[in-house]
Chain A
Amino acid sequence: MNVSDQQAEIVKSLLKITREEELNCNELLEVIGEYAEKKLSGQPIDKTLEPVEHHLGLCRECEEEYEALCKALQDIENL
């Protein structure tokens, strides 16, 4: 398995934020609605939701879905 310099750098940057315990994508799905609501209303993110922020920093797909969710919630809110 050959990895380019750029990819090796990406792996290093991932190791920098790797934790022993992380939320997985399904666990995130259970709390992402609450997190998005708080973010959109400018409320502080409490300790129980901090792992959500961490997961979003690691998981491109969940981050993309989160951004889409924010758009949807903003639209529904404006109904």
Chain B
Amino acid sequence: MVTYPVALGGEQGKLLLLMDTWQDRLGEHHPERSEAIVELRAILLRGLKSSLSGRHREDSANLEDIAQKALLKILENLGTYQGRGKFTSWALAITIRVAYNDIRARHWNNVSLDYLKEQAGDSIPEESVSSTSPDVEAQKKDSLELVRRMIQTDLTTRQQDVLLAALNGMPQEEIASQMGTNRNNVYKLFHDGRKALKRAMEQRGYSRDMLYDSPDTGTYDQTYAQTYVEGGHS
């Protein structure tokens, strides 16, 4: 319960106001609410400018819009701030998510899940060039074939759609929008799908060593980064 010190008046009241947290000051009935909003907005804008500098060029009108949208979201969700880390760090994290959702939506606005499915249907497994022994190569090939088969047999259609879109670099927010759901549900489909695949492969006798002989996640990161930066759909 927040108590407001205005009734105290004078220096004592001012001192107590300074001790109030961001969460207090942004509260609906706080006497400093307007000032707190202006201060926070300035911090969000500055953070946006530095976080988006270099990679994503945004004009200042767009940054203002993003900051405003983020501010509304922060005010709506004030009660969810758990006090873990500084308030401004939490607010900036929300602001950056709003900004990136906006950027990603513009980047992917002409790509449909159906288009990705069609493209996937056309893809041809690559011939691998490797210096490892024929036995290791055969084992690797088997495991990749098993992955493909399990995707077909052990995932639901929605899990397959999410996996395919993710493998092609489509952002979760965009997948969610096209599937008529939200990012959390997309992450859940992605997570449940991975768990189902993992169980299915282990049940089919693939030991951890055989299953996980792949290079580390660098491959995943590189492919994802490449797809996103270059716009894998274009």
Q: Which of A's residues lie within 8 Å of B, judged by CB?
A: 1-18, 20, 22, 24-26, 29-37, 57, 59-61, 64-65, 68-69, 71-76, 79
Task: Say yes or no: A11 contacts B85, CB within 8 Å.
Answer: no
A26-B194 contact in complex given A4-B126, A15-B211, A61-B172, C-beta closer than 8 Å: no
- Are A60 and B224 interface neighbours, CB within 8 A? yes
Residue of B nearest to A76 (CB): B47
**B51-83, CB under 8 A of A: which get 1 and which 0?**
111000000000000000000000000001110
Asked if B100 contacts A64 (CB within 8 A), the reply is: yes
B216 within 8 A of A: yes
Interface size class of B (residues with CB under 8 A): 35 or more
Quick one: closest A residue to B228, CB to CB?
Answer: A60
Q: Is the CB of B171 within 8 A of A4?
A: no
Minimum CB–CB distance for A40 against chain B, Å: 10
Chain B residues within 8 Å of A59, by CB? 172, 187
Closest chain A residue, CB of each to CB of B52: A68
Is there an interface contact between A4 and B96, defined as CB atoms closer than 8 Å? Answer: no
Task: Evaluate contact between A29 and B228: CB separation under 8 angstroms.
Answer: no
* Chain B residues within an 8 Å CB radius of A29: 93-94, 97
A72-B167 in contact (CB<8A) = no
* A32 CA / B100 CA spacing, docked (Å): 15
Q: Which of chain A's residues have a CB closer than 8 A to the CB of B144?
A: 5, 8-9, 12
Would you call the interface of chain A mostly helix, strand, loop, or mixed? helix
B14 CB–A CB distance under 8 Å: no
- In the assembled complex, 24 residue pairs joining A and B whose CB atoms fall closer than 8 Å, in A order, are A1-B151, A1-B152, A1-B164, A4-B123, A5-B126, A7-B167, A8-B144, A12-B144, A12-B211, A14-B194, A15-B201, A18-B194, A24-B191, A26-B183, A26-B184, A29-B94, A31-B85, A33-B84, A35-B85, A69-B51, A69-B96, A73-B47, A75-B50, A76-B46
B223, CB-defined interface residue at 8 Å = yes
CB proximity of A44 to chain B, nearest CB, Å: 15
Chain A residues with Cβ under 8 A from B122's Cβ?
2
Closest chain B CB from A63 CB (angstroms): 8
A25–B104 Cα gap in the complex (Å)?
16
Top 6 nearest A-B pairs (CB, nearest first) are A33-B89, A34-B85, A72-B47, A75-B50, A33-B85, A68-B51
> In the complex the two chains form, is B126's CB within 8 Å of A20's CB?
no
Asked if B126 and A16 sit within 8 Å, CB to CB, the answer is no
CA separation between A6 and B197, bound complex, in Å?
A: 17
